[in-house]
Amino acid sequence: MEEEKKVEFRNPLRRNELDPNRWRSTQAGMWAWLWQRISALAIIVLLAIHVTLPYRPLIQFLLLLNVVFHVTLGLRVILLDFGLVNVKYQKALIGGLAALGVVIFVLVWNGIY
């Protein structure tokens, strides 16, 4: 019993380590979080292009679409953060708010052009 052999633990596994199924099993909530970060980066890039090349409908369209996407995901998190919507409706919020955002976007876009 006195023989003390140090057991070598393996370092904790990380999320994607050695696991081909991980991304296939990624759920809506995490995609929403991830895509909001990606859209934030896209907005920075598109905003820079928009400022240097103003009045280009294609760039404006992409920028506004990205902003709508980013805003709807952000509103969803705000609604969940302040307990205004129960967490169990989180998936419905992604689609619902995105659809609402796109409808408003199309109306505004048609109003401008």
Q: If 0-12 CB within 10 Å is exposed, 13-18 middle and 19+ buried, where does residue 60 land?
A: middle
Decide: 63 and 46 in contact? Cβ < 8 Å: yes
| Smallest separation, CB 41 to other proteins (Å) | 16
N residues, the chain: 113
* CA atoms of 68 and 65, how far apart (whole Å): 5
| Sites of contact with other proteins (CB under 8 A) | 7-15, 17-30, 33, 77, 80-83, 86-88, 90
Closer by beta carbon to other proteins, 6 or else 107: 6
Residue (47 or 74) nearer to other proteins, CB: 74
Q: Is the Cβ of residue 35 or residue 109 nearer to other proteins in the bound state?
A: 35
CB of 108 to other proteins, least distance (A): 28
At its nearest, how many Å lie between other proteins and the CB of residue 100? 19
Look at the block and give the residue holding tokens 């609604």.
79
- To other proteins, the closest distance from the beta carbon of 52 in angstroms equals 18
Distance CA 3, CA 6 (A): 10
- Tokens at residue 63, please? 């920028």
Instruction: Rank residues 41 and 108 by Cβ distance to other proteins and give the closer one.
Output: 41
